[in-house]
Every structure is written in structure tokens, then in C-alpha cells.
Amino acid sequence: MTEYTDVPQVSELYLEQQHVRAAIGLIDAGGTLTYLTISPAPPPEGEVSSTMPIGLVIVGPVQQSTMDAIRAQLVTRDTAITAELTALGVINTPPAER
């Protein structure tokens, strides 16, 4: 059973899962990548990174293999979110995307 202290985490996971599934739906409907953010690697423990993420507008067509890889990563994250929700005691979670 979900503990009341877990409610904020459960809410965040549900919201993330909604976004992940919406992105999968867009890809399945022919959507494409239009914006990309690259972040620096996490700094070693105790250090602070001074490098900011870089955002890029993607112009032109994106290779289908890239979209397939993005979709696969989203499905992997969706499965992980479902597992996290289950571990928190959430029952009747929606089935994972395929």
C-alpha cells in the first residue's frame, strides 16, 4: 500500500509517465524531433558543474533510426516508471507501452 509520504513522488511519476506516453503517441503518429537539450555529465560528488546545458533547434528531417531509438528509450523509461510505481505500492497501474 502506498504510504502518504510517497504521494508527492507518486504524483511526479504519474505526470512523467503521462508525458512519456504522450511523446510515444506523437512519434507513433509521425511526430519528429524539433528541439534537443544536451546536458553536461554530472560532476564528481562534492563538486558543482559550471557548464550549462545546450539547447538546439533541429531543422530538417530527422532520420527514422533516430526516432526509433528515441521511442525505444521512452518505452524503457515508461517500463521503469511502472516498476517504480509498483514498488511504491501503487496498484492498478496502466500497462506499460510497447
Give pLDDT tens digits along the chain (98 positions). 555 667 889 989 999 999 999 999 999 999 999 999 999 999 999 998 889 999 999 998 999 999 999 999 999 999 999 999 999 888 877 776 67
**What are the Cα distances from residue 38, in Å, to 45, 53, 73?**
21, 6, 16
pLDDT of residue 22: 96
Distance CA 9, CA 25 (A): 24
Give the whole-angstrom CA distance, residue 28 versus residue 36: 19
Distance between CA 98 and CA 82 in Å, rounded?
A: 13
pLDDT at 93: 77
pTM of the complete model: 0.82
